[in-house]
Amino acid sequence: MSTAPADVQKTVTDFLTSIEKLPEGFGTDTPLYADGAELDSLETAELSATLEDVHGSDPYSIGEMPQTLGEILAFYAGA
């Protein structure tokens, strides 16, 4: 799949929905961890694997720790 923002956003949204952690009003500035989607380390690891599977790369695998969907989108925009 492409790394277009809409596609990446759908991947993240679908993932959060599948683990029942999609915050109300989820957007590019919503925190992924505490005070937001509240992903724990294993769920973050799963998000990393999901992004890699769907889009061929992911920010976590190169040592980045995006805090929001916006930072994930920025990673692909700059890739």
Instruction: Kindly list the residues in this chain that would bind other proteins in the complex (CB under 8 A).
Output: 40-42, 44-46, 48-50, 53, 60-63
Nearest distance from C-beta of residue 54 to other proteins, angstroms: 11
With respect to other proteins, which residue has the nearer C-beta, 7 or 64? 64
Q: Which two tokens stand for residue 27?
A: 């957007």
With respect to other proteins, which residue has the nearer C-beta, 1 or 27? 1
- For 68, phi then psi, to 5°, come to -140, 170
With respect to other proteins, which residue has the nearer C-beta, 27 or 64? 64
Nearest distance from C-beta of residue 48 to other proteins, angstroms: 6
DSSP output for 10-72: HHHHHHHHHTT---TT--TTSBSSTTTT---HHHHHHHHHHHHHHHS--TGGGT----BHHHH
Nearest distance from C-beta of residue 20 to other proteins, angstroms: 11
